[in-house]
Amino acid sequence: MFTNARMLIKTSLIFFIVGMLAGLPLLGQRFFGWAVPYGVQAAHVHLLLIGGMVMMILGVAIWFFPRPPAGDKKYNPTIILILYYALTLATILRFPLEAHSILPWILFTASLVQILSIIGIVYSIWGRIRAVGSQIREKKGERF
């Protein structure tokens, strides 16, 4: 398994755990009347979707899809690593800002960094998402 894939998958699992823990105050609010800041729900969902799901999908995509085609200039593991760090730091930063609805310009910037990082990683791996042999079997009538 590639280092970038491993890092994305492990980080996504950590974000899943933190996201689930962030949901506990919401249950406390619902069942016990705890006072919970308004933004905690958005922060909780955000950790699960961006930090957990999107990072997991990107990590599995990097791991699962075949090597880039010869001459592919888009795929660059170093760029993906930089984008991974940007995405991770922006997600970490966004959680407390979203939960407490503070520093809107920093929150907006962190959101923009997340979006651009995800687009950059998808752009980098786009050429790897291709058929390698299955199109030949499909032409012969095999169904998947």
pLDDT in tens, 72-122: 889 999 999 999 999 999 999 999 999 999 999 999 999 999 999 999 999
Provide the whole-model pTM. Answer: 0.87
Q: Cβ atoms within 10 A of the Cβ of 86, count? A: 18
Indicate if the pLDDT at residue 144 is higher than 80.
no
Q: What is the mean pLDDT of the chain?
A: 92
Indicate if the pLDDT at residue 48 is higher than 90.
yes
Number of H helices and number of E strands within the chain?
Answer: 6, 0
Tokens of residue 98, six digits: 């979203």
Q: Give CA–CA dist 127/67, Å, rounded.
A: 9
Tokens of residue 60, six digits: 């599995």
- Confidence at residue 122, expressed as pLDDT on a 0 to 100 scale: 96
Burial class of 134 by CB neighbour count within 10 A (0 to 12, 13 to 18, 19+): exposed
